[in-house]
Amino acid sequence: MTAGALGMPARSSRFKRYVLPGLAFKAVVIGGGYATGREIAEFFLPAGPWGGLAAMALSTLIWSVVCVATFLFARKTGAKDYRAFFKGLLGRGWIVFEIAYGLFVVLILSVFGAAAGAIAAATLGTPPILGTLALMAGIAGFAAFGNSAVERLFAWVSILLYGVYALFLVLALTSFGDRIVSAFGHAPPLGNGWAAGGITYAGYNIVGAVIILPVTRHLTSDRDAFIAGAIAGPLAMLPAILFFTCMTAFMPDIANAVLPSDYMLVRLGQPIFHLVFQLMIFAALLESGTGAVHAINQRVASVWERGRGVAPGPLARGSTALALLMVCMLLAERIGLVALIASGYRILAYAMIAIYVVPLLTFGLWRLRRHQDARMELA
């Protein structure tokens, strides 16, 4: 008889236990982290080709360490959303993260909406508002149907994303591979500031590890949590490494490009691929925005279920998502809130490190160690 026939929950596949959390983490990171290449130019290019790769390796290590600690602590506390996680980590101080995350979401969703509008205007010649509305509809649609729909989005967009970046690398090597080889061949071993760039970049994006807690519901053991967390860093950084490698062909000029992706795509001279790449960026914005909104939806759903005894349906989830998106994408920019938050973005990022990463890697690890010691005493 199967586990289902016995009334027991079926064991999740290795893909859902080991790989899916990493794909979800990548989904949250890429939209605000490197889809256009601007962030890569900002944090990694100044250190040169080899220094940039070293900085990326450091960011990857930090991501993996924090993901492992986050997933293990979430299992220890039974947390499946960020509210439960921070109640276990910060006690009554959990509300501080809620405030910081709310500001963070307003900023990133506003940026995503503007980017979607720019893509629609550049590729289709439509008014930017149509691109923004299309992104809003897509995010609300996937968020409405909960975990399963969001997880499928992460999986299918990942196939598109990794495939497009791999093809981009092939086309780049074919078109200007000699320039890439020359850039690495003539660069010093490590440029200045590579470690600072890697740490800062990792800090900007590490909040993704706690945002994607809903997909860790498939983890069945601490071993699963460790493997999933360790894999998450490389899965999230691999496309960025491929992109950075191609960008070195046009150093130092590309460092000043507003959209480094377009800078290189124009020089590839492949109009169809240019369109495909823009579609991929839109898909990346869709999965990043969905991940951020889904985290809030799950937070609301936990309160809803405790108050009403049933989980919210698709209509309630979709309405919550749409209301949030309207505030962030349509209203925040008009009232100047985006500019206000953006002016303190670095402070906000460092605040995330202070209220999340530092407590997790100190108090959180101490609690995990005590829990492990208690289990060993009982064995």
Any idea what the CATH number is for the domain that residue 103 is in?
A: 1.20.1740.10
Query: What is the count of structural domains for the chain?
Result: 1
Q: pLDDT confidence of 104, banded at 50, 70, 90?
A: confident
Q: DSSP alpha helices (H): ranges in the chain?
A: 14, 20-33, 38-43, 48-77, 82-90, 94-124, 128-144, 146-185, 194-205, 208-211, 222-247, 260-268, 271-308, 314-325, 337-343, 345-352, 358-359, 365-378
Are residues 332 and 106 in contact, defined by beta-carbon separation less than 8 angstroms? yes
Evaluate whether residue 208 is within a structural domain: yes
In a domain, 376, yes or no: no
Residues 6+ apart with CB under 8 A from 229: 21, 64, 65, 66, 67, 68, 69, 70, 71, 72, 209
With respect to residue 369, please indicate whether it lies within any of the assigned structural domains: no
Q: Which residue has the tokens 């992104």?
A: 135
At 221, is the pLDDT very low, low, confident or very high (cuts 50, 70, 90)?
very high
Tokens 């289902």 locate to 4
Q: Nearest Cα to 244, choosing from 111, 55, 23?
A: 55
Q: What is the DSSP letter of 260?
A: H
pLDDT at 377 > cutoff 60: no
Tell me: pLDDT of 172 over 50: yes
* Contact between residue 352 and residue 206 where contact means Cβ atoms under 8 Å apart: yes
Q: Would you say residue 206 lies in a domain? A: yes
Q: What is the pLDDT of residues 197-212, one digit of tens each?
A: 898 888 878 888 999 9
* CA 48 from centre of chain: 25
Is position 216 within any domain? yes
pLDDT at 30 over 60: yes
- Answer whether residue 353 is part of any domain: yes
Of 366 and 343, the one with more pLDDT: 366
pLDDT digits (tens, 9 = 90+) for 268-316: 989 999 999 989 989 999 998 998 898 888 888 888 877 787 878 889 8
Evaluate whether 18 touches 224 at the Cβ level (below 8 Å): yes
The answer, yes or no, to whether residue 343 has pLDDT greater than 70, is no
On whether the CB atoms of residues 241 and 172 are closer than 8 A, the answer is: no
| Domain, as residue range, for 84 | 14-361
pLDDT surpasses 50 at 342: yes
Beta carbons of 140 and 328 less than 8 angstroms apart: no
What does the block give as tokens for 119?
A: 């893509």
The type of residue at 76 is K
Residue 3 inside a domain? The answer is: no
